[in-house]
């Protein structure tokens, strides 16, 4: 490994000596570009957007690998190897005086627009051989500030609306004369007026005059509102407020064939309340579904926000493919608008097949599933889903057993999703305002292992709201019932693991169990789900929170009715003990963009699950594990912790009640669709109680920080736009199993066979 790295470094060094191989005579390679300012308020990162020439990109902001690859190619372009190397690499960026001048001009305008009217930009080129290092020096000078602020608003109605909204204004006396802020205020006023019927209003009606005060850096700023002109040469009139006159639905609109409302093909129509609905052949959505998702009505003032909410509502209906809303002025009264809600139908049904490979702690297997979807089950855009799945795995069993046979899993899942908030005794107006979806689901999973047969059946009732492109998303699991049933277990397995060794954790998780839970989860993404190539655009952060509890209602019922306890001192329902716990998780992730090829991402998360009342152990499905592709990547999945527990080849014992994870990744775009990453991970899990089966696993304040595992590694990601294939290799750096010595710090004494873990996953880890 060390020899390979040394060879790679030597090769890059040799190539670096010829980075100007394809730089023409008399030209210079643009080796580096820097931006310097003499004002802390004007950041170089804000001005980098105006650079018209960037140096050749660097992997991890260090090595111009793609330039080196390009230079490996020979000059004979007819040879295939040379063509391949040039496609994989980047041609050298040749310094252009013209582009440098245009960059300086645009930077000057940008800084002047910030209020520094006397700003200047100097360019300092430094030549070293055939390389050019370019520096832009920005001298901002003194900023101009607003001394007085006045409004020239002749329209009395608009003046009233602006006064009501004055608390939200971006303008104030003493502010810098920032053109960007002035333009943002124009847009803010426009958006506000468009909520009060001003359908034709746009920001071009708003302008400013700025009078400078002699021999000072102050200006008197006046905001002007231009009147409306019906015709180019006509007299000015006040801006008109528009009202909705009539709303019509066209449910079979084809945007590829229809350009105007006059040539749309319809064969029939009905009237529902005050709304005409036009359709072709058959109306595929119930009329009340169309009307309930509408947020404007005849007689109301035009409101751009209500129009946007209507778009969002129809976007939730999977029975629809596209939505287009058009407004046309009526002939009799130009301030009345006829609205046409034009809808394009989606395919009502679909069937999909999926094949997958599995690798569970070294046990290889395969699975397949078929999914049927109906997107309009009851003509209300209700989505029905039925999924059948089967999987096979060659398992090695638990240590010390002879169960080296097969694992077969069969499963069925069905759900129905209603695009509205369903709950008894709630008014229609209330459910319309929430814009939530309601989901009912059933699942059945049959697991046949050599040691036992296990059945997991569940039923759920949940609510979700917050669209994909919005920042916040919520989910409430109002009721989630899980029944774990063990119809058969090998007697040798039972005697060895559940009775002779008296492993309480194993025994608890290999018995029939009922879990009745409720939960709430919240996700906030500052980028509003604006994704491109599976990465957020610009700096962004994500917060995730989850809370759930189980068994509280059943425990209260058991106490109230004086239920009998079983031999393990547990209350039972119909002879089945039920779990009782509370669990909470929080996770924060942030992405920092360095440039168009490099970014820094980090995350930190923690969770706790507390058993109480009717349980002393959290069910295995709700416990935490550490290690794996999305945790501390120097360890295999479920191979780390709890605490300093070294493991005993029983994955159930390597689970815990507390979890901490932290990671930092430097990500870079390599070439084609390949991206690379360097990462450092830290974390572990712990138990809240001392279990004999997990020595060293209990969380203790004076020890836990010494038990945090650390790993480092490299990753390659194949970004195919619609999904990402991730390959990560992690090495242990600090191993909490050992208190001291070489084995505790494998970063100093690495052993590839002992300390390396390879991971394959889909998607980014955070």
pLDDT tens digits for 54-92? Answer: 998 888 778 888 888 888 888 877 888 888 888 888 889
Q: pLDDT band at residue 366, thresholds of 50, 70 and 90?
A: confident
Q: pLDDT band at residue 467, thresholds of 50, 70 and 90?
A: low
Q: What is the pLDDT of residues 468-489, one digit of tens each?
A: 456 888 999 999 999 999 888 8
Q: What is the pLDDT of residues 704-715, one digit of tens each?
A: 999 999 999 999
Question: Cα separations (Å) of 21 from 71, 132, 298?
Answer: 7, 15, 71
Q: Is residue 345's pLDDT more than 90?
A: yes
Q: Is residue 361's pLDDT more than 60?
A: no
Sorted by where each begins, the domain ranges of the chain are: 2-139, 145-237, 243-345, 347-448
Can you give the pLDDT at residue 284? 94
Q: Is residue 554's pLDDT more than 80?
A: yes
| 290 burial level (CB within 10 Å; 0-12, 13-18, 19+) | buried
| 628 burial level (CB within 10 Å; 0-12, 13-18, 19+) | buried
Rounded distance between C-alpha atoms, residue 617 and residue 549, angstroms: 14
Can you give the pLDDT at residue 158? 95
Q: Average pLDDT of 284-294?
A: 94
Can you give the pLDDT at residue 678? 94
Can you give the pLDDT at residue 405? 64
Can you give the pLDDT at residue 395? 56
- Residue matched to tokens 């789900």: 529
Can you give the pLDDT at residue 659? 96
Helix (H) or strand (E) segment spanning residue 98: helix 97-113
Q: pLDDT band at residue 401, thresholds of 50, 70 and 90?
A: very low
Q: pLDDT band at residue 502, thresholds of 50, 70 and 90?
A: low
- Residue matched to tokens 């751009």: 304
Among 87, 74, 97, residue whose Cα is nearest residue 28 = 97
Can you give the pLDDT at residue 382? 95
Can you give the pLDDT at residue 83? 84
Enter the CATH code of domain 145-237.
3.10.20.310
Category of 140 on φ-ψ map: left (φ > 0), alpha (ψ -120 to 50) or beta: alpha
Q: Is residue 1's pLDDT more than 60?
A: no
Can you give the pLDDT at residue 534? 42
Can you give the pLDDT at residue 300? 95
- Residue matched to tokens 């709630």: 426
Enter the CATH code of domain 2-139.
3.10.20.310
Q: Average pLDDT of 604-630?
A: 91
Rounded distance between C-alpha atoms, residue 75 and residue 68, angstroms: 14
Residue 551 contacts residue 583 (beta carbons within 8 Å)? no
Can you give the pLDDT at residue 321? 92
Q: Is residue 126's pLDDT more than 70?
A: yes
Rounded distance between C-alpha atoms, residue 419 and residue 441, angstroms: 15
pTM of the model: 0.82
Q: Fold match between 2-139 and 243-345?
A: yes
Among 483, 437, 442, residue whose Cα is nearest residue 460 = 442
Tokens read off for 621:
């499905």
Please tell me which residue, 623 or 19, carries the higher pLDDT value. Answer: 623
Rounded distance between C-alpha atoms, residue 595 and residue 539, angstroms: 11
DSSP 586-630: EEEEEEEE-SSSEEEEEEEEEEEEEE-TT-SS--GGGSB-B-STT
**Class of CATH domain 243-345:** alpha beta
Q: Is residue 397's pLDDT more than 50?
A: no
Can you give the pLDDT at residue 193? 96
Q: pLDDT band at residue 532, thresholds of 50, 70 and 90?
A: very low
Q: Choose from 248-262, 370-384, 582-596 the range with maximum mean pLDDT.
A: 370-384
| Mean pLDDT over the full length of the chain | 87
Q: Average pLDDT of 310-321?
A: 92
Q: Is residue 571's pLDDT more than 50?
A: yes
Q: Is residue 358's pLDDT more than 90?
A: no
Q: Is residue 736's pLDDT more than 90?
A: yes
Q: pLDDT band at residue 440, thresholds of 50, 70 and 90?
A: very high
Q: pLDDT band at residue 331, thresholds of 50, 70 and 90?
A: confident
| 75 burial level (CB within 10 Å; 0-12, 13-18, 19+) | exposed
Residue 645 contacts residue 694 (beta carbons within 8 Å)? yes
Can you give the pLDDT at residue 24? 87
Residue 441 contacts residue 415 (beta carbons within 8 Å)? yes
Please tell me which residue, 387 or 490, carries the higher pLDDT value. Answer: 387
Residues in the chain: 766
Measured from the Cβ of residue 288, the count of other Cβ atoms closer than 10 Å reads 12
Q: Is residue 203's pLDDT more than 80?
A: yes
Q: Is residue 398's pLDDT more than 50?
A: no
Q: Average pLDDT of 354-381?
A: 80
Can you give the pLDDT at residue 536? 43
- In the chain, what percentage of residues exceed pLDDT 90? 54
Can you give the pLDDT at residue 580? 94
Q: Is residue 439's pLDDT more than 50?
A: yes
């Amino acid at each position: 490994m060390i020899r390979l790295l040394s060879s790679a470094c030597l090769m890059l060094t040799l190539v670096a000596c010829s980075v100007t191989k394809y730089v023409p005579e008399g030209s210079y390679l643009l080796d580096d570009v820097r931006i310097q300012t003499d004002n802390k308020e004007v950041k170089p990162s804000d001005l980098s957007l105006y650079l018209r020439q960037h140096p050749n990109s660097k992997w991890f902001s260090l090595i111009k690998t793609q330039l080196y690859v390009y230079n490996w190619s020979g000059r004979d372009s007819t040879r295939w190897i040379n063509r391949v190397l040039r496609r994989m690499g980047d041609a050298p960026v040749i310094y252009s005086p013209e582009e440098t001048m245009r960059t300086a001009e645009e930077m000057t305008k940008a800084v002047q627009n910030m209020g520094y009217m006397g700003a200047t930009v100097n360019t300092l080129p430094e030549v070293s051989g055939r390389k050019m290092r370019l520096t832009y020096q920005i001298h901002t000078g003194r900023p101009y500030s607003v001394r007085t602020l006045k409004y020239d608003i002749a329209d009395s109605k608009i003046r009233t609306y602006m006064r009501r909204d004055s608390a939200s204004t971006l303008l104030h006396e003493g502010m810098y004369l920032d053109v960007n802020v002035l333009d943002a205020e124009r847009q803010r006023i426009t958006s506000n007026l468009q909520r009060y019927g001003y359908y034709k209003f746009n920001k071009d009606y708003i302008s400013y005059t700025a009078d400078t005060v002699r021999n000072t850096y102050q200006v008197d700023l006046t905001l002007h509102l231009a009147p409306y002109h019906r015709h180019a040469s006509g007299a000015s009139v006040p801006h008109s407020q528009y009202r909705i006159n009539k709303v019509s639905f066209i449910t079979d609109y084809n945007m590829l064939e229809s350009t105007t409302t006059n040539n749309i093909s319809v064969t029939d129509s009905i009237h529902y309340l005050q709304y005409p609905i036009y359709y072709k052949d058959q109306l595929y959505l119930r009329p009340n579904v169309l009307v309930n998702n509408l947020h404007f009505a005849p007689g109301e003032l035009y409101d751009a926000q209500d129009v946007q909410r209507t778009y969002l509502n129809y976007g939730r209906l999977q029975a629809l493919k596209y939505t287009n809303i058009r407004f046309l002025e009526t002939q009799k009264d130009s301030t009345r608008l006829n609205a046409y809600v034009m809808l394009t139908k989606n395919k009502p049904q679909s069937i999909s097949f999926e094949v997958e490979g599995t690798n569970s702690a070294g046990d290889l297997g395969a699975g397949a599933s078929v999914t049927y979807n109906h997107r309009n089950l009851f003509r209300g855009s209700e989505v029905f889903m039925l999924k059948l799945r089967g999987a096979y795995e060659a398992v090695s069993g638990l240590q010390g057993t002879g169960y080296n046979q097969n694992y077969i899993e069969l499963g069925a899942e069905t759900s129905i999703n209603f695009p509205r908030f369903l709950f008894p005794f709630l008014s229609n107006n209330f459910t319309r305002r929430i814009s939530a979806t309601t989901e009912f689901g059933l699942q059945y999973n049959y697991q046949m292992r050599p040691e036992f047969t296990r059945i997991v059946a569940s039923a759920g009732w949940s609510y979700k709201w917050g669209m994909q492109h919005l920042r916040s998303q919520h989910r409430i699991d109002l009721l989630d019932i899980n029944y774990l049933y063990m119809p058969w277990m090998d007697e040798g397995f039972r005697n060895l693991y559940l009775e002779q060794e008296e492993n309480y954790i194993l025994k608890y998780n290999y018995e029939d169990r009922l879990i009745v839970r409720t939960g709430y989860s919240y996700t906030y993404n500052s980028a509003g789900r604006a994704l491109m190539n599976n990465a957020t655009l610009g700096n962004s952060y994500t917060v995730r929170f989850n809370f759930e509890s189980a068994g509280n209602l059943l425990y209260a019922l058991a106490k109230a009715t004086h239920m009998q306890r079983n031999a393990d001192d547990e209350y039972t329902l119909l002879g089945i003990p039920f779990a009782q716990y509370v669990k909470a998780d929080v996770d924060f992730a942030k992405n920092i963009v360095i440039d168009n090829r490099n970014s820094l991402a980090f995350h930190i998360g923690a969770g706790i699950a507390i058993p109480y009342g009717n349980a002393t152990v959290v069910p295995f499905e709700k416990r935490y594990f550490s290690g794996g592709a999305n945790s501390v990547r120097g360890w295999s999945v479920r191979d780390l912790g709890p605490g300093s527990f070294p493991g005993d080849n029983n994955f159930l014992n390597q689970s815990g009640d507390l979890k901490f994870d932290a990671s930092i990744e430097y990500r870079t775009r390599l070439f084609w669709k390949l991206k690379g990453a360097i990462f450092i991970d830290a974390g572990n899990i712990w138990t809240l109680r001392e279990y004999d089966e997990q020595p060293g696993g209990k969380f203790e304040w004076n020890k836990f920080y010494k038990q945090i595992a650390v790993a480092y590694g490299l990753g390659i990601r194949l970004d195919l736009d619609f999904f990402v294939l991730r390959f990560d290799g992690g090495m242990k750096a600090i191993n909490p199993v050992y208190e001291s010595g070489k084995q505790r710090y494998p970063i100093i004494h690495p052993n590839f066979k002992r300390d390396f873990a390879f991971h394959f996953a889909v998607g980014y880890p955070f």
